[in-house]
Structures are given as structure tokens and as C-alpha cells.
Amino acid sequence: AGLLRARSPKLYQLAHPSLRATITAYADRHGRLQAHHQNCAELVRLHGRGPNRFGLIGQHLLSGGRPREALGFLYQGVIRAVDEAATGRARELLAIWQLALDELDPPASDPLRGDHHYMRCRLAMVGFDVDECRREFTALGRLATEHDWPRHLARAAALEAQLAHQLGDASECLRLLPRAINLADAAGDRLTSARTRLEMAQVLNQQGMSKAAAPWIAEARKVYEQDHVAIGEATCLLLSATIAFSAGRYDEAQGVAEAARHMGAKAGALTIQGFAMSIIGEVHRKAGRPDMARRAYHKALSMFHGVGAEAHGIPCELNLALLHQDDGEDEAAVEILNACIERLHR
């Protein structure tokens, strides 16, 4: 009793580290450990859920002696963690990905070598490390040109545009995005094509051109829907909800945000759910439902905390401060504001 712990309805793990170590050592002595890891990878692939699924498959494949296959799943795990702003998990998986690459040791001309720069740049982007971003997308672009890697050339161009957006240089971002989109389309890189289109929509909306943004959102969402990328599709819905909210279409904003939240829940994407709850909280606050707004904001903060992305929750905390101020609770509002300022300076 108590020897197994459920990971999902059809997956279990041994509850005690000492028992796992004993069984692992026994399998290793009898030459069955790699086969066990391969079986575990297949079980997780078939029945695994949640944000750690791809990384777990990759780790089992690497331990099962299949580094090339492991690289693909570990790559997906890193990108998923980056999308969730789970930087700790992303770094851990990137280190394991590097072990798999070292074991495989592909030639310098293999595009797998470029994945390292792409993932490092995406991770640096989340951490607002501007210098690291520039180093990595510059290296990626140089290698892509040298070895004729069209997908990586498109990704380097997209990353350069994304950094300009992150730095608040909308005009530079809008100048760079068409080239990135054209390169992604020419390379047949559908996900980079969708990401750059969504980036275009975000910049246009921030510049007050929400009508111009709508077709770009639709194009990006179509690709994500066709390729079954739930996080990408949910991100499109979040932007549509934000646009509806800004236009005063509060019922529409809440409905679209609920759809995004539901999609995020199915994908196990806490960050998506957090952003959706934040929008729902805003709708309740505007509609004069402060108690419902508070509940939504606190749910959002809990979700951001769940992936270590507390910085995403600062707008929710600021809105909670406004609600305290509305109730005449100035001291509570100031306490929240001071905590936000301290977090921003860390």
C-alpha cells in the first residue's frame, strides 16, 4: 500500500525514491533499463498530461538510448516552458537537451545545432536579457546563412522583430516583421509564420489599430487551429478578448476570455489561464462586481505563481489595489503597490 502515486488517470510512479533506485539498479544489472525507459516514454506519450509531458518523454528517450528522438521532445518541452514563462523548467530541459545533442554529436551543418541558439534566445527574451537575445539571434542568423537553414533564418528574423517589440520600438518592429513573415512562409515554417503574424497583430493593436490587427489574428489562429497548437490558439483568443474589452464590448470580452481559459485548462497551460482570469476580473471590475473581480484576480495570481511567473500578475495586483482604494482601504492599496515596486526592482 502506498507504493504507487498517480500522475494521471492512467499513469503512476513509484512513491519512494529508495524503491525506484532499487528497481532501476535491478533493471540495469539485467540489461533491461533502456527498454524500461523506452516503454515509459511511450506510456507518457499516450497518456501523459500537463506542461511537463514533452520534457518527461524526452528524458526517458534519452535514457533509453534514443537521443535523436529525445531532442525533438525536449525541444518542445523547452518551448512550452518558455511559453509558460517557467524559466526554471526551461533551463533544466535545455541542459538535458544539450546532453542529448552531445551524445548524438551531429555535424556542424545539422540544423539541430541552430536549435540551441533559438531556445537560448527565447529563454533570454522571457528573462529580459537584451544582450543575450541579440547574441543568440545574431549567431543563429549567421549560422543559418552559412549552412542554408531557411527555417532558422526566419526564426532569427522573427526574434529580432520580437526584441524590438519588447523594447517598445514599434516602428522598428513593424519594419522587421514583413521580412520575418516572408522568410517563414518561404521556409514552410508554419509556427514561426503564425507567431510573427500574432506579433504583428499585437503591435498594431498597441498602436491603436485594432481593426488592422484583426486579420492577422485570424490568420495566426487558423494555423494554430490546423496544427493543433492549443497554446497558440488560446493566445489569439486572449488578444481578441483584450481588443473587445478595450472597445467596451465587455460581454464579448468575457466570453472570448472564458474560451481561452478553457483551452488553456485542456492544455495544462497555467499562464494562459492566468491571463484569461485577469481579463475576466477586469470585466467584473468595470461592471461593478468587486467581489467577483477579486476572486478572478486571485485565481489569476495563483496560476501565475504555479509556474513561477509572478511578474505576469502585477497588473492583477494593481487592480486589487484600485479595489482597495475604492473601498477606502488606502493602507492596503499602498502595501500592494510597494510590493509590486519591490518585485519590479528585483
Q: pLDDT tens digits for 58-83?
A: 988 988 889 999 999 999 999 988 98
Q: pLDDT tens digits for 263-299?
A: 999 888 899 999 999 999 999 999 999 999 999 999 9
Kindly state the average pLDDT of the residues 168-196.
97
Query: In this predicted structure, what is the pLDDT of residue 84?
Result: 84
Kindly state the average pLDDT of the residues 251-268.
95
| pLDDT at position 3 over 60 | no
Give the whole-angstrom CA distance, residue 63 versus residue 249.
52
Write down how long the chain is.
Answer: 346
Kindly state the average pLDDT of the residues 213-239.
96
Query: In this predicted structure, what is the pLDDT of residue 1?
Result: 46
Give the whole-angstrom CA distance, residue 297 versus residue 316.
5
Kindly state the average pLDDT of the residues 167-181.
97
Q: List the grid coordinates of 312.
A: 505576469
Kindly state the average pLDDT of the residues 231-245.
96
Query: In this predicted structure, what is the pLDDT of residue 309?
Result: 83
Query: In this predicted structure, what is the pLDDT of residue 254?
Result: 97
Its pTM stands at 0.85
Reduced 3-state DSSP string for 10-63: CEEEECCHHHHHHHHHHHHHCCCHHHHHHHHHHHHHHHCCCCCHHHHHHHHHHH
Kindly state the average pLDDT of the residues 134-138.
97
Kindly state the average pLDDT of the residues 148-173.
97
* Strand residues in the chain grouped as ranges (E): 4-8, 11-14
303 neighbors 265 (Cβ within 8 angstroms): no
Give the whole-angstrom CA distance, residue 180 versus residue 117.
17
| pLDDT at position 36 over 80 | no
| pLDDT at position 124 over 90 | yes
Q: pLDDT tens digits for 17-32?
A: 765 666 666 666 766 7
